[in-house]
Chains A and B, each alone.
Chain A
């Protein structure tokens, strides 16, 4: 079936540094999402992106977070600067034609901020 890829699978960085998480969504999908799951806790919605714009973001999507998808390449989540509480698994998802379509999830990037 369709696959969403995430690069890297793991990332360890020092607090205060910048990190970019990359998502390679399913080809021709138009809607993109980031979710965050702290170890042992529920997965929480971060941001919803369509047509080059953030359509919705949650209160977890801090000012230090930004998303973009330049020229149809990777859909990225950038955190600058990182904080200890940003340590989590970040899941990317994409859906095809409508924001009510099934979302296809990537395997997650495990981010550890030291």
Chain B
């Protein structure tokens, strides 16, 4: 979307390596969410963030509201991490604005 810019649009990683996905916002986001689209198309929530960081296993996410961006770090990438990752930003009015997604492929 034009309010949430995700980069890169596509990414290929070797198994075991690290990388980061990024979202830049042109709106004043109060919270950020990251999702992984499963093989059936459903968006499964990975993180819900106010400004700060959260970690869950090999995933870590950060949200800087002042600089208007969020990152999703993947450590020790595994084959099952492959999929499309979406970030979404919420301003204060309960709307949700999604990025266009990053298609991640992890190769053996």
Listed in ascending order, the chain A residues whose CB lies under 8 Å from chain B are 31, 33, 35, 37, 41-45, 48, 55-56, 58, 89, 91, 95, 98-103, 105, 107-108, 110
- Among A43, A48, A55, A103, point to the contact of B45 (Cβ < 8 A): A43
| Inter-subunit contact B40/A89 (CB<8 Å) | no
A58 to B39 alpha-carbon distance, docked (Å): 14
How extensive is the interface on chain B, given as a class?
20 to 34
B100 within 8 A of A: yes
B37 within 8 A of A: yes
- Among B33, B38, B39, point to the contact of A43 (Cβ < 8 A): B33
| Inter-subunit contact A107/B42 (CB<8 Å) | no
- Among A91, A99, A105, A108, point to the contact of B41 (Cβ < 8 A): A99
| Inter-subunit contact A41/B84 (CB<8 Å) | no
- Write the nearest CB–CB distance from B29 to chain A, whole angstroms: 14
A102-B95 in contact given A42-B33, A45-B45, A48-B41 (Cβ < 8 Å): no
18 interchain pairs (CB within 8 A)? A37-B96, A41-B48, A42-B33, A43-B43, A43-B96, A45-B44, A48-B42, A56-B42, A91-B96, A95-B41, A100-B37, A100-B41, A102-B98, A102-B101, A103-B43, A105-B98, A107-B95, A108-B94
- Write the nearest CB–CB distance from B79 to chain A, whole angstroms: 17
- Write the nearest CB–CB distance from B70 to chain A, whole angstroms: 14
- Write the nearest CB–CB distance from B74 to chain A, whole angstroms: 19
Chain A residues whose C-beta falls within 8 Å of the C-beta of B37 in the assembled complex:
100
